[in-house]
Amino acid sequence: MSFEGYWPYVYIAVAGWLATDFWRWAGVLVGNRIDERSELLNWVRAVATALVAAVIAKMIFFPTGTLTSSPLWLRLGAVGFGAAAFFLGGRFRQILGIAAAMAFLAAGLALLGA
Return the pLDDT at 83.
96
Q: What's the CA gap between 15 and 31, in Å, rounded?
A: 24
What φ, ψ does residue 38 adopt, rounded to 5°?
-75, 155
* Greatest distance between any 2 Cα atoms in the chain: 55
Question: What pLDDT, on the 0 to 100 scale, is given for residue 2?
Answer: 56
Who's near 102: CB < 8 A, 6+ residues apart? 78, 82
For the chain, the C-alpha Rg in angstroms (whole number) is 20
Instruction: Give the pLDDT confidence score for residue 109 in this predicted structure.
Output: 93
Q: How many residues does the chain have?
A: 114
Name the residue type at position 96.
L
> Given this model, what pLDDT does residue 56 score?
94
Q: Which residues contact 103 (CB under 8 A, 6 or more apart)?
A: none
pLDDT of amino acid 3: 58
Which residues of the chain fall short of a pLDDT of 50? 1
